[in-house]
Structure 1
Amino acid sequence: MLSPEDYETGCLMAQEDEERLSPAQDEGYQSFIVKYNQNVYGQEEYASDSTFQVIDDYFAIVYTPLEKGREPEITSYSYNSIPKCYTYMDVEALNASGVTRLHEHPYLKLRGRGTAVAVIDSGIDYTNPVFQDENGSKILCLWDQTIPGEGNEGAPFGRVFTKREIDKALGEEEPLSIVPSMDTNGHGTMVAGAAAGSMREQEDFSGAAPEASLIIIKLKPAKRYLREFYLLPANAEAFQEDDLMLAVSFAMEQAKKYRMPLSICIGLGTSQGAHLGYSPLSQFAGSAASFSQNSISVAAGNEGMARHHFDGNIGEGGEEETAELRIGEDTDGFTMELWGEPSENYQITIQSPTGENLEVSTAVRSTTQELSFVFVETKILVNYIAIERQSGNSLVFFRFLHPAAGLWRIKVRGDGRERARFHIWLPVTGLIPEGTYFLQSSPYYTVTSPGDSIECMTSTAYQYRDNSLFLEASRGFTPIGSVKPNFAAPGVGIRVPLLSGGFGEASGSSLAAAQTAGIAALMFEWAVIRGNEPFFSGNSVKNYLQRGARRDEGLSYPNPEWGYGRVNLYHTFELLT
């Protein structure tokens, strides 16, 4: 197996071939996600030193030099144009989901042959035997966004390695001299293994779709300016939204090239946004999942017990609702978002641990407000947006700079005309310092984005040994009542390949999404490869799995914890006969 030292050696060998940085990789450029609706002439509206990168017929990215553009500010640009930051949704499962019986079924024997599973994550240890078969590597192509360069093989930047190059690397003593790409933390390797790792009977291991091919995208880390804007912890592993969108687009183009039905797995998430499926990534992924022979499986998240969500109601007559927020010691900063129904003007007062109260002005909407406290060295930057253009809801965006530790209170009241509901979300675990949470939190409405996309399959995690819900699992529904998660898949104590070359156990909704992605590949094999339903789409997969989900007596379905129940592919096929 490859070690970090091998990776450094391989990178040094590849330095001679490096090209100059593309704007997507250059820390001197900022990104904006725009809707251009196939209006290529709209590019003329941007400065001559900006770069326009098309994602699809609807979305594009504009890269603008930082020194000539303003620092990101919610009121200077539209909220959705600034890329959000995403991170990992992790903290004998196949029998529980009815997959093993279909691997060995005398007539079906579904194993994913002829299909492709795309994993968008931290990369892959391509030297691991679970990603090889009798024909060499199972990987059709590997796009490493972190390698400097202006792209090849249809990728707009980074470096794409083909199966031929990977097979050649596997025959070398130093494979990284040929393919200098490595998964440095093992997350992508685990997810890819759970979705489509080859059968290894001696190790009692198999991915959900062991004969599916793989398309791997290694995401580059979020740029420094975004990390600073969102006040992320120094050690946070974060990825930016526009890179994820390009990864989805790349996977779809590669599947077309190889003429394979495609199942995409996204084991990442964020709590940014209104949780309504309106973020650019949620919209784009949802659109992609509705295409024939494409499906997208996403993680529901692990925010159920994180205490990062406050659910508030304000009544008629100017009643006040207070969210008590505990901020931990040595916190450099974090962001927070309040989303409310647009019928109200939200009057917000912030009280520091010393009892000092400062009000957020509802009149200042074109610029950032600065709240500076006298008795604590804390500054809060606030953007008040009465009507956020995509969702139509009210948004108050907070940036806490060097907040004092202790108990803070966010007091919210309306103008007294009618009852209204609002939500406050903190960043997901991993993107906020530990020790910061709401004292009276709600586990509901915590499904992360892009899990809020209506068309995507959103999987929560459960313990397959006793059919109990993963304790940390995010709960639904969405604030407008859309059923999320769609169903539960095994995601606790899952046997996965490790960077060491052995196997271990891992838990989290990322792995539930991986299981679902593999199951989708099996369904595509039955529907498309075997000609039963040639125009099968992601919506088809989702609806079949919802119909065949196992449900417990005494519970009503769909529900915010389980969606439509525990995914069971064998039962789905039983209902087809």
Structure 2
Amino acid sequence: MTCKEKILSEDYIDLINYFVLPQGTVEGNDDIFCYIPINERFLSIYYSRSILPPLEVSSYYYRYIPRLYGLMEPFAPEALDRNFDIQPLVRSGITLVQREPLSLTGRNVVLGFVDTGIDYRNPVFRREDGSTRILAIWDQSVQTGTPPDGYIYGSEYTREQINEALQSDNPLELVPSTDEIGHGTAMASAAAGSALNGGLDYLGAAPDADIVVVKLKQAKQFLRDYYMTPDDVPAYETNDIMLGIKYVSSFRVPFEKPTVICLGLGSSFGDHSGSSSLSDYVSNVGSEINQVVVIAAGNEGNAAHHFSGYIETGQSIRAEMMVSEGTRGFLLELWGRIPDFYSVSVRSPGGEVVPPVSGRLGQSVEYTFVYEKTKVRLDYQTIESETGNEVAVIRFESPSPGLWTVIITREGGDGTGNVNMWLPLRQFVDGRVEFLQPTPETTITSPGFAEPPITVSAYNSRNNSFYINSGQGFSSNGDIKPDIAAPGVDISVATGMVQGKTLVGTSTGTSLSAALAAGAAAQFLQWAVVEYNSPYVGGVAVRNYFLRGANRESAYTYPNRQWGYGRLNMEGVFNWIAGLPAL
């Protein structure tokens, strides 16, 4: 079996290795495994499931369990066939710096998207002569073409191939890459859409930027089954996302071709401190010279999927969850901070109780209720290897509808006594599960707590109100996130074509606020690197310029759990550089 077959096979599990393997080849070591190097620390490795234990925390270190990432919420344009609305770009100061004398349009900057693909045929991604602005597409879901060198799977389509396809009667015969969902196309159009009809019909934040796209393949079924994710909901694996980021980053040429990588994906699991493998990797990528990573804060702020509480030593608290009829199942993660240690019990709607399971011994318990027909598995890891904290993963299969209660007892320790629990992304639950006393703070999705990437929350630019579903900070250890807020409500996006013309609709969410901020970052990199005004800048510098130029209201204190350091304002950035008064 080739490595490509292993990567695509349901008989092989995709893992992230945190250390370099002994001498070997990318093509694989017999039929047991193969791997693709990501960087000097991480390997994307594919193991035969036949020699591995079942996918459970008790059988693996927590950090080795593959994580699923989603599109924050299912993407659906909220309105079709709308006139283009430039107002969010104006309020962000983006259009002012697009005009003379600065003329910042993202020229010679690469804007990369690791998402659901792109509709490359749409005029919003083409130049006035009809040629494409896309440098390359790596479609991980199509196996009929040639993969990028060193990546083994999927198909790569170059600018030359895309241009050839655009000149043919049936472009998809030559470049069969599409965006059936539309999420990636929407993000790319908001960040980098061409100026159609002089910007009257459409205009992105960086309309002259070059575009690189990775279309992620869907997660394997056995992993979706582990998380009990609905079959019709898009879900993506860590391995594919990390390799996609590596691919986009390869187009960066220091001092010549800076790169912005925009991520509109997230997960609600992890300890929310930026410690996951994907967070570690984007931190590394975002620290490179002439490279910026921009991440959506997620749309979980109003999902009622986070519970936070304080427990005195020897005392308990109860976290109540309402589970709707027809819920197939779900996972819940509980995190406590060292040196405290806890025990956990679960009470069903009918009153049956899982006896307390102590984290002291790292126990694992599976309990089947007599009357509820529900199976609960509780896996404890006393010391999670990446964070050093205590984590319990509770898996509910076929939960009875009604009020479920998780009882947490602080057995000892002289720490803060704070515990946090997170449920999956809203769309990853086949039904409705909510905490009755949720906490909207610390709901930014992973990898949004990574440093130094720019994490962006969303607001309504028409009335300056915070978008109610936007993820909120700070991190679980108090680090400042989000960094900044950008318009994310009723953003004009490309939603299709009618008789060869771009169909404009509107959409809402932090993916769109991240896209606008990514386009703004491309504007800044044109000024700093391409035009050689500050050629050594990287992600940290760009973020700090953005924070200095942000709009801040006197009614709020900053940094802020919702707004970060304020609202994105590119005009304010260059006024600060020029020494002009703040707006």
1:255: how far off?
2.8
The match for 1:527 is 528
Q: Distance in 2 between matches of 1:364 and 1:468?
A: 45
Alignment of 1:393-408 (within 5 A): 393-408=389-404
Aligned counterpart in structure 2 of residue 128 of structure 1, from 122, 125, 129: 122
1:423: how far off?
0.2
Q: Distance in 2 between matches of 1:46 and 1:324?
A: 48
Say which is worse superposed, 174-183 or 430-439, in terms of deviation: 430-439
* 1:307 and 2:304 aligned: yes
Q: Distance in 1 between matches of 2:174 and 2:25?
A: 41
Alignment of 1:142-291 (within 5 A): 142-148=137-143, 151-201=147-197, 203-256=200-253, 260-291=257-288
1:200: how far off?
1.6
The match for 1:478 is 475
Give CA deviations for 1:435-490 in whole Å, capped at 9, x if unaligned: 21000000001011010102110000010111111011111000111111001011
Give CA deviations for 1:362-384 in whole Å, capped at 9, x if unaligned: 27956742011112100011110
* 1:73 and 2:70 aligned: no
* 1:102 and 2:103 aligned: no
Give CA deviations for 1:94-142 in whole Å, capped at 9, x if unaligned: 01110000111x2211000000000111000000000000461000000
Does structure 2 retain, via aligned residues, the 8 Å contact 1:494–1:505? yes
Q: Distance in 2 between matches of 1:134 and 1:563?
A: 38
Does structure 1 retain, via aligned residues, the 8 Å contact 2:109–2:526? yes
Sort the Cα spacing of 1:250 and 1:567 in 2 relative to 1 into closer, same or farther, 3 A. Answer: same
Aligned counterpart in structure 1 of residue 7 of structure 2, from 9, 17, 24: 24
1:151: how far off?
2.0
Sort the Cα spacing of 1:365 and 1:132 in 2 relative to 1 into closer, same or farther, 3 A. Answer: farther
1:44: how far off?
13
Q: Distance in 1 between matches of 2:532 and 2:492?
A: 33
1:156: how far off?
3.0
Say which is worse superposed, 553-562 or 66-75, in terms of deviation: 66-75
1:172: how far off?
0.9
Give CA deviations for 1:149-185 in whole Å, capped at 9, x if unaligned: 6723453310000000000000111101100010001
Does structure 1 retain, via aligned residues, the 8 Å contact 2:342–2:412? no
Alignment of 1:394-543 (within 5 A): 394-418=390-414, 420-500=417-497, 501-543=502-544
Q: Distance in 2 between matches of 1:528 and 1:277?
A: 28
- Unaligned 5+ segments in structure 1 are 1-18
The match for 1:89 is 72
Q: Which amino acid aligns with 1:208?
A: A
- Unaligned 5+ segments in structure 2 are 76-86, 579-583
The match for 1:550 is 551
The match for 1:373 is 369
RMSD, aligned α-carbons = 2.1
Does structure 2 retain, via aligned residues, the 8 Å contact 1:350–1:357? yes
* 1:350 and 2:350 aligned: no
The match for 1:4 is none
1:257: how far off?
10
Q: Which amino acid aligns with 2:293?
A: I
Identity %: 36
SS for the counterpart of 2:5 is coil
Aligned counterpart in structure 2 of residue 330 of structure 1, from 326, 330, 344: 326
Does structure 2 retain, via aligned residues, the 8 Å contact 1:557–1:565? yes
* 1:50 and 2:50 aligned: no
Q: Distance in 2 between matches of 1:371 and 1:454?
A: 40
1:22: how far off?
3.4
The match for 1:10 is none
1:46: how far off?
7.7
Does structure 1 retain, via aligned residues, the 8 Å contact 2:286–2:453? yes
SS for the counterpart of 1:302 is coil
SS for the counterpart of 1:389 is coil
Does structure 2 retain, via aligned residues, the 8 Å contact 1:304–1:474? yes
Sort the Cα spacing of 1:423 and 1:165 in 2 relative to 1 into closer, same or farther, 3 A. Answer: same
Q: Distance in 2 between matches of 1:257 and 1:570?
A: 26
Q: Distance in 2 between matches of 1:38 and 1:260?
A: 33
SS for the counterpart of 1:61 is strand
Q: Which amino acid aligns with 1:570?
A: E
Normalising to structure 2: TM-score of the pair?
A: 0.92
Q: Distance in 2 between matches of 1:22 and 1:257?
A: 35
Sort the Cα spacing of 1:195 and 1:44 in 2 relative to 1 into closer, same or farther, 3 A. Answer: closer
Q: Distance in 2 between matches of 1:28 and 1:254?
A: 33
Does structure 2 retain, via aligned residues, the 8 Å contact 1:20–1:148? no
Sort the Cα spacing of 1:65 and 1:367 in 2 relative to 1 into closer, same or farther, 3 A. Answer: farther
Give CA deviations for 1:519-549 in whole Å, capped at 9, x if unaligned: 1111110000000111110111111101111
Q: Which amino acid aligns with 2:176?
A: P
Aligned counterpart in structure 1 of residue 383 of structure 2, from 382, 387, 392: 387
SS for the counterpart of 2:341 is coil
SS for the counterpart of 2:563 is coil
Does structure 1 retain, via aligned residues, the 8 Å contact 2:354–2:367? yes
Q: Distance in 1 between matches of 2:30 and 2:270?
A: 28
Aligned length: 557
Q: Which amino acid aligns with 1:169?
A: A
Does structure 2 retain, via aligned residues, the 8 Å contact 1:36–1:42? no
Q: Distance in 2 between matches of 1:344 and 1:359?
A: 20
Normalising to structure 1: TM-score of the pair?
A: 0.93
SS for the counterpart of 2:293 is strand
Q: Distance in 2 between matches of 1:130 and 1:44?
A: 39
SS for the counterpart of 2:44 is strand
Does structure 2 retain, via aligned residues, the 8 Å contact 1:365–1:383? no
Sort the Cα spacing of 1:320 and 1:44 in 2 relative to 1 into closer, same or farther, 3 A. Answer: farther
